[in-house]
A and B are shown apart, each in its own frame.
Chain A
Amino acid sequence: MLSLIHARRTILQCEIINAFSLNVVRMSNSTDLGYKDVHLAICRYDLAGTLGWQDVKQRYRRSKLGPFWLTISMGVMIGALGLVFGGIFNTPMREFLPFLAIGIILWVYISTVINEGCTAFISSDAIIKQLPLPLFLHVMRVIWRNAVILAHNVVIIPVLFLVFLKPLELVAFLAIPGLLLSTLTLAWVALLAGVLCTRYRDLTQIVASVLQIAFYLTPIIWMPGLLSGRRSFFFLEMNPFYHLIEVVRAPLLGSAPTLTNWVVSAALALVGWIITLWVHGKYKNRISYWL
Chain B
Amino acid sequence: MALIDFQGVCVDFPVYNASGRSLKKRLMLVATGGQLNEDATGVVVIRALDNLTFKIGDGERVALLGHNGAGKTTLLRVLSSVYAPTSGSGLIQGKLGSLIDISLGIDPEASGLENIYIRGRLLGMSAAEIKNKAPQIVEYSELGDFIEMPVRTYSTGMHMRLAFTISTTLRPEILLMDEWLSVGDEGFKHKAEARMKEMVQSTSILVVATHSRELAMNTCTRALWLEHGKIKMDGSSKEVCDAYFGPVAS
Interface of A toward B, CB cutoff 8 Å = 22-29, 46-47, 50-51, 54, 57-58, 61-62, 126-133, 199-203, 206, 285, 288-290
Check if A130 sits within 8 Å of B80, measured CB to CB: yes
**CB of A233, distance to nearest CB on chain B (Å):** 31
> Which A residue sits closest to B122, measured CB to CB?
A131
> Which A residue sits closest to B77, measured CB to CB?
A129
Q: A130-B100, A201-B21 are in contact. Are A29 and B122 (CB under 8 A)?
A: no
**Top 3 A-B residue pairs of the complex, sorted by shortest distance between their CB atoms:** A285-B84, A28-B89, A27-B90
Contacts of A62 in B (CB 8 A): 109
B245 is an interface residue with CB less than 8 A from chain A = no
Check if B85 sits within 8 Å of A27, measured CB to CB: yes
Map CB proximity to A onto B138-182 as digits: 1 under 8 Å, 0 otherwise: 000000000000100000000000000000000000000000000
Contacts of B127 in A (CB 8 A): 46
Contacts of A58 in B (CB 8 A): 107, 109-110
**CB of A1, distance to nearest CB on chain B (Å):** 27
**Given A61-B109, A129-B77, A130-B80, 7 extra CB contacts under 8 A:** A25-B90, A27-B78, A27-B91, A27-B92, A28-B90, A130-B104, A200-B23
**CB of B43, distance to nearest CB on chain A (Å):** 11
Check if A27 sits within 8 Å of B82, measured CB to CB: no
For this complex, 13 residue pairs linking A to B, each with C-beta atoms less than 8 Å apart, are A25-B81, A29-B84, A29-B87, A51-B118, A54-B118, A130-B80, A131-B80, A131-B123, A132-B82, A133-B122, A199-B21, A201-B21, A290-B16
Contacts of B123 in A (CB 8 A): 131
Check if A23 sits within 8 Å of B94, measured CB to CB: yes
**CB of A53, distance to nearest CB on chain B (Å):** 10
Within 1-48 of B, Cβ neighbours of A (below 8 Å) are at 9, 13-14, 16, 21-24, 26
Within 54-102 of B, Cβ neighbours of A (below 8 Å) are at 77-78, 80-96, 98, 100-101
Contacts of A130 in B (CB 8 A): 80, 82, 98, 100-101, 104
- In whole angstroms, how far apart are the Cα atoms of A43 and B124 in the complex? 12
Main secondary structure of the interface of B (DSSP, over half): mixed
> Which B residue sits closest to A53, measured CB to CB?
B118
Q: A126-B104, A200-B22 are in contact. Are A26 and B90 (CB under 8 A)?
A: yes
Interface of B toward A, CB cutoff 8 Å = 9, 13-14, 16, 21-24, 26, 77-78, 80-96, 98, 100-101, 104-105, 107, 109-110, 117-118, 121-124, 127, 150
Q: A27-B90, A29-B84, A289-B13 are in contact. Are A22 and B124 (CB under 8 A)?
A: yes
Contacts of B91 in A (CB 8 A): 24-27
Contacts of B95 in A (CB 8 A): 22-23
- In whole angstroms, how far apart are the Cα atoms of A288 and B107 in the complex? 23
Contacts of B16 in A (CB 8 A): 290
Q: Which of A28, A51, A200, A203 contacts B85, CB < 8 Å?
A: A28
- In whole angstroms, how far apart are the Cα atoms of A28 and B85 in the complex? 5
> Which B residue sits closest to A126, measured CB to CB?
B104
Contacts of A290 in B (CB 8 A): 14, 16
Contacts of A25 in B (CB 8 A): 81, 90-93, 96
Contacts of A27 in B (CB 8 A): 9, 78, 81, 84-85, 89-92
Q: A46-B121, A127-B122, A130-B104 are in contact. Are A288 and B82 (CB under 8 A)?
A: yes
Contacts of B78 in A (CB 8 A): 27
- In whole angstroms, how far apart are the Cα atoms of A289 and B22 in the complex? 16
Q: A127-B105, A129-B77, A132-B81 are in contact. Are A24 and B14 (CB under 8 A)?
A: no
Q: A22-B95, A22-B96 are in contact. Are A57 and B110 (CB under 8 A)?
A: yes
**CB of B92, distance to nearest CB on chain A (Å):** 4
Contacts of B77 in A (CB 8 A): 129, 288
Q: A27-B78, A62-B109 are in contact. Are A131 and B104 (CB under 8 A)?
A: yes
> Which A residue sits closest to B12, measured CB to CB?
A289
Contacts of B88 in A (CB 8 A): 28
Check if A128 sits within 8 Å of B82, measured CB to CB: yes
Q: Which of A130, A202, A288 has the most CB of B within 10 A?
A: A130
- In whole angstroms, how far apart are the Cα atoms of A46 and B124 in the complex? 11
**CB of A146, distance to nearest CB on chain B (Å):** 19
Contacts of A29 in B (CB 8 A): 84-87
Check if A26 sits within 8 Å of B89, measured CB to CB: yes
Check if B83 sits within 8 Å of A289, measured CB to CB: yes
Check if A54 sits within 8 Å of B82, measured CB to CB: no
Contacts of A201 in B (CB 8 A): 21-22
- In whole angstroms, how far apart are the Cα atoms of A106 and B94 in the complex? 45
